[in-house]
């Protein structure tokens, strides 16, 4: 993931150099592999783990940087300059499969003029490796990299019935995507259709027949939330991974659908002119409720060794977008703090997740070397007293205890079964009996004694003659 330092600075003025910011982000869990110079801008190459889709955008990384440095987070303007008319007067939206598409929003901009993007937008996109196309397409791409929400723009005039239907593909249905390839679809794939045919593969790529062209005058801007598992399956089946599918597969902010759309519409009005509808058609039949998680500040110390005050825990989590609630249950003596998980943090669901958030922002480097605390004192395990007592009695009676390895050479253990797969080499066969292991152990002792020039039998004779002792009782194996 490439992040423009200048672009990032417009959202969070950290006051750090690109290298210093890269180090802070890396220590907080966002590994910056390199900082490179592109066209007078510094670009941070961030290696993100799959559980942090919220940082697949400049806004997500800016939020992290603001929390780490105390800088203020600045959100971009989302108000369109020219509005008029209701979206329902120009289009309609129907969702046939609510499980695969929980939310779909459509907003129309009329009277646009397609042309090249201004220099500042071209530089922004080129700095992060994106190819400029035209002012409308570039606006959708820019907002995706800014907010993390993929968007798509349709030429409204090319949609049959000027309506959107979100449904599964029909058997044998085909669609020529924007890359010029005609793709066969199956009934498990979700598509965006008009009144007659499929016009886009939901969450993956749009269709060639409805793309923005120089003749486009009216634009329908799509912003939606698609089920990650559905997009992942479709992308894999088609062998087609895009910037959009990469984000949808990992989960986007389902409550950020409208804000990203409004931001894109405002940008289109600025770059291509036109008049936006006053609102959008927002079909959201089953609202998704974000989870709430409780944190006991003492757990931060118990799990990490960091002594972080409760007030600092609240500050860190609030800066990351968590909202403190009143249902923490602090009256139970545990000092629990309740937090509503932000809708863009799909990776947080339990208390340990909150502990990790506090620890990484507070600073892993502040963790001191120490033994982990134990809530109990040392004690014997169940049955250990009997084993110790038996060992003492047998030792006092003259027995010796032989502790041998559990695996021996196959050649040295006739009849023993070979393990599969080999767990230790070359001793790959399980010992058949204790006698096998003990015999090998005694054999090694005799060979070592013989090499020193003293046989076991001669040593016993000399020791017996010297001491005049009676023969010791035979010893057994335990």
What does the pLDDT look like over 142-186, one tens digit per residue?
999 999 999 999 999 999 999 999 999 999 999 999 999 999 999
pLDDT at 384 (0 to 100):
86
Report whether 201 contacts 174 (CB < 8 A).
no
Burial of 267 (0-12, 13-18, 19+ CB in 10 A): buried
Instruction: State whether residue 390 is helix, strand or coil.
Output: helix
pLDDT at 466 (0 to 100):
56
Neighbours of 98 (CB within 10 A): 15
Confidence of residue 425 (pLDDT cuts 50, 70, 90): very low
pLDDT at 417 (0 to 100):
47
The residues pairing with 191 across neighbouring beta strands, listed in sequence order, are: 167, 201
Report whether 56 contacts 250 (CB < 8 A).
yes
Mean pLDDT score, 280-304: 93
pTM above 0.75, yes or no: yes
pLDDT at 456 (0 to 100):
46
pLDDT at 325 (0 to 100):
86
Q: CA 457, 459, 462, 467: dihedral to nearest 10 degrees?
A: -110
pLDDT of 454 over the 70 cut: no
| Tokens found for residue 263 | 């931001």
Mean pLDDT score, 81-105: 95
- What is the rounded distance in angstroms from the CA atom of residue 137 to the CA atom of residue 129? 15
The residues pairing with 282 across neighbouring beta strands, listed in sequence order, are: 105
Confidence of residue 372 (pLDDT cuts 50, 70, 90): low
Report whether 102 contacts 227 (CB < 8 A).
yes
What does the pLDDT look like over 315-337, one tens digit per residue?
999 999 999 987 555 545 568 99
What does the pLDDT look like over 228-267, one tens digit per residue?
999 999 999 999 999 999 999 999 999 999 999 999 999 9
Spatial CA neighbour of 312 closest among 245, 247, 361, 372: 361
pLDDT at 234 (0 to 100):
97
Mean pLDDT score, 206-231: 96
pLDDT at 478 (0 to 100):
47
More confident residue, 314 or 451: 314
- Minimum mean pLDDT among 153-157, 354-358, 372-376: which range? 372-376
pLDDT at 462 (0 to 100):
57
pLDDT at 412 (0 to 100):
53
| Domains of the chain, first to last | 2-69 (3.30.56.10), 87-283 (3.50.40.10), 292-366 (3.30.56.10), 385-467 (no CATH)
Q: CA 37, 41, 47, 49: dihedral to nearest 10 degrees?
A: 180
Report whether 297 contacts 310 (CB < 8 A).
yes
Mean pLDDT score, 427-442: 58
More confident residue, 227 or 425: 227
Report whether 178 contacts 206 (CB < 8 A).
yes
End-to-end C-alpha distance for the chain, whole angstroms: 62
pLDDT of 378 over the 80 cut: no
Instruction: State whether residue 363 is helix, strand or coil.
Output: coil
What does the pLDDT look like over 8-63, one tens digit per residue?
999 999 999 999 999 999 999 999 999 999 989 999 999 999 999 999 999 999 99
Mean pLDDT score, 380-385: 81
pLDDT at 150 (0 to 100):
97
Confidence of residue 437 (pLDDT cuts 50, 70, 90): low
- What is the rounded distance in angstroms from the CA atom of residue 307 to the CA atom of residue 366? 10
- What is the rounded distance in angstroms from the CA atom of residue 312 to the CA atom of residue 297? 10
Q: Considering the chain, what is the average pLDDT of its residues?
A: 87
The residues pairing with 164 across neighbouring beta strands, listed in sequence order, are: 93
- What is the rounded distance in angstroms from the CA atom of residue 145 to the CA atom of residue 76? 13
pLDDT of 433 over the 60 cut: no
């Amino acid at each position: 993931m490439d992040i423009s330092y200048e672009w990032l600075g417009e959202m969070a003025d950290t006051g750090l150099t690109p290298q210093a910011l890269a180090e802070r982000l890396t220590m907080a869990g966002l590994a910056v592999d390199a900082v490179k110079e592109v066209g007078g801008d510094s670009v941070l190459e961030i290696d993100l783990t799959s559980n942090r889709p919220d940082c697949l955008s400049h806004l997500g990384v800016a939020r992290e940087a603001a929390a780490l440095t105390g800088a203020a987070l600045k959100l971009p303007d989302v108000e369109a300059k020219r509005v008029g008319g209701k979206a329902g007067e120009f289009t309609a939206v129907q969702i046939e499969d609510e499980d695969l598409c929980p939310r779909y929003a459509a907003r129309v901009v009329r009277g646009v003029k397609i042309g090249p993007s201004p220099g500042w937008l071209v530089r922004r996109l080129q700095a992060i490796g994106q190819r400029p196309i035209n002012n409308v397409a570039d606006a959708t791409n820019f907002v995706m990299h800014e907010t993390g929400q993929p968007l798509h723009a349709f030429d409204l005039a090319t949609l049959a019935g000027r309506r959107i239907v979100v449904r599964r593909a029909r058997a044998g249905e085909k669609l020529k995507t924007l890359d010029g390839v005609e793709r066969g679809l199956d009934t498990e794939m979700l598509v965006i259709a008009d009144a007659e045919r499929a016009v886009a593969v939901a969450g993956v790529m749009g269709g060639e027949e409805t793309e923005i062209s120089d003749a486009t005058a009216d634009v329908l801007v799509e912003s939606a939330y698609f089920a990650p598992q559905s997009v992942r399956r479709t992308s894999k089946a088609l062998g087609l991974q895009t910037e959009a599918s990469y984000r949808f597969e990992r989960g986007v902010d389902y409550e950020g659908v409208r804000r990203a759309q409004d931001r894109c519409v405002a940008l289109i009005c600025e770059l291509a002119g036109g008049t936006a509808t006053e609102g959008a058609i927002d079909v959201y039949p089953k609202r998704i409720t974000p989870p709430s998680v409780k944190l006991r500040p003492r757990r931060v110390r118990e799990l990490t060794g960091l002594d972080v005050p409760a007030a600092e825990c609240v500050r860190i989590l609030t800066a990351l977008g968590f909202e403190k609630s009143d249902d923490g249950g602090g009256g139970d003596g545990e000092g629990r703090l309740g937090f509503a998980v932000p809708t863009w943090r799909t990776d947080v669901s339990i208390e340990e997740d909150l502990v990790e958030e506090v620890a990484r922002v507070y600073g892993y480097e502040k963790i001191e070397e120490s033994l982990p605390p134990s809530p109990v004192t040392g004690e014997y395990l169940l049955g250990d007293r009997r084993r110790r007592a038996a060992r003492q009695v047998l030792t006092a009676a003259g027995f010796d205890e032989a502790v041998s390895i559990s695996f021996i050479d196959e050649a040295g253990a006739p009849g023993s079964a070979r393990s599969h797969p080999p767990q230790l080499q070359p001793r790959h066969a399980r010992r058949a009996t204790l006698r096998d292991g003990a015999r090998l152990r005694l054999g090694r002792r005799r060979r070592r004694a013989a090499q020193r020039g003293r046989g076991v039998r001669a040593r016993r004779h000399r020791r017996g003659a010297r001491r005049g002792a009676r023969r010791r009782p035979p010893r057994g194996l335990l």
